[in-house]
Amino acid sequence: MKLAWLFPGQGAQAVGMGKDVVDSSPAARAVFERADEALGEALSKLCFEGPMDQLTLTANTQPAIVTTSAAILAAVRERLPELPAPAFAAGHSLGEYSALWAAGALSLADAVKITRVRGEAMQEAVPPGRGAMAAIMNLGGDAVAELCTEAATPEQVVSCANFNAPTQTVIAGHQEAVARVRDLAKAAGGKAIPLNVSAPFHCSLMQPAQRAVERALAEVQVSAPTTPVLANVDALPKEDGEAVKKALVAQVDSPVQWVGTIEKLRAEGVTHALELGPGRVLAGLARRIDKDLGVLSVGSTSAIDKIPSFLGLEE
């Protein structure tokens, strides 16, 4: 058995996330208290009670998901002190910050502060209504990339934002160019689903946000990860703090290489993974990339109780 930890990104949020874990785990409760202190506000109350429209604001969602993932992992470590260390960690987009916290590269306070800046900057980078994202299904990633090249113009950009599964690629860019790719995809036998997002993430329109993240990261200490963390930009681990920072900056306007990440884990012999955080998105994507990778979604106390049997640790 070779283990990886996976951390979800934006879109996994839900009112009430982390509440039952906090109710049963002093370690998880301490994580939320530290996050509240770092931000100077009751992020925990927003996670536990909502309202949903405030929780889904990008500037709130990003630190909220990082904190929830950190709290769940803290509860896992408290409940299962003999849990084997992971061979790798990885996070989808925002989840890379959670993975880096788990690997000791970032403090929790810095992780929530930077993701607050990241969320605000991504929201402000593109005026409302100017950008769009869509999920293209039933076509390969290379085919979708070619459609983006065909649809883009010097004035209107569109490109692949997330390579989520072999036949699920998310695109982002100017609204009109995204619409053209959707039409081209349908004509090619694919399916196009518009995404209800506040901004076109992981494309060149995010360059103002990239600069804001770079400035924020320049102010904090990032250590060498104690566990290899696969970066979103190239599905490879970074060995020192400066390399980690560069990868996080590049990630803002580059596509998330999630297919490559799961394939890298499998090539390295990973057999089991824990999805640590709200939702079950990553488990679903993993099944579509490699059915032989077992993934347990751990977002509640009852899920934590399933870890020993999932990993074959029970006597």
pLDDT digits (tens, 9 = 90+) for 11-58: 999 999 999 999 999 999 999 999 999 999 999 999 999 999 999 999
User: In the predicted model, is pLDDT for residue 269 greater than 80?
Assistant: yes
Report phi then psi at 12, rounded to 5.
Answer: -85, -10
Query: Over pLDDT 90: what percentage of the chain?
Result: 97
- Residues in Cβ contact with 259 at an 8 Å cutoff, skipping those fewer than 6 apart: 141, 163, 164, 165, 166, 289
Given this model, what pLDDT does residue 112 score? Answer: 98
> Chain-wide mean pLDDT for the chain?
97
Reply yes or no: is the peptide bond before residue 154 cis, omega within 30 of 0: no
pTM (global) more than 0.95: yes
pLDDT digits (tens, 9 = 90+) for 203-247: 999 999 999 999 999 999 999 999 999 999 999 999 999 999 999
91-95, 198-202, 281-285, 294-298: the lowest-pLDDT one: 198-202
- Record the tokens describing residue 144, joined without a space: 């979708």
Active site residue 93: yes
User: In the predicted model, is pLDDT for residue 198 greater than 90?
Assistant: no
Instruction: Check residue 18 and give left, alpha or beta (phi > 0: left; psi -120 to 50: alpha).
Output: left
pLDDT band at 157 (very low <50, low <70, confident <90, very high): very high
User: In the predicted model, is pLDDT for residue 314 greater than 80?
Assistant: no
93, 159, 198, 297: which one is catalytic? Answer: 93
Domains located in the chain, CATH noted: 3-125+205-310 (3.40.366.10), 131-197 (3.30.70.250)
Q: Residue 24 and residue 20: Cα distance in Å, rounded?
A: 7
Given this model, what pLDDT does residue 298 score? Answer: 98
Given this model, what pLDDT does residue 99 score? Answer: 98
202, 254, 272, 297: which one is catalytic? Answer: 202
Token pair 């998880």: residue: 28
Given this model, what pLDDT does residue 315 score? Answer: 54
Q: Say if residues 281 and 266 touch (Cβ distance below 8 Å).
A: no
pLDDT band at 313 (very low <50, low <70, confident <90, very high): confident
Q: How many CA atoms lie within 13 A of 315 on its CB side?
A: 0
Closest residue by Cα to residue 226 from 114, 128, 86, 120: 86
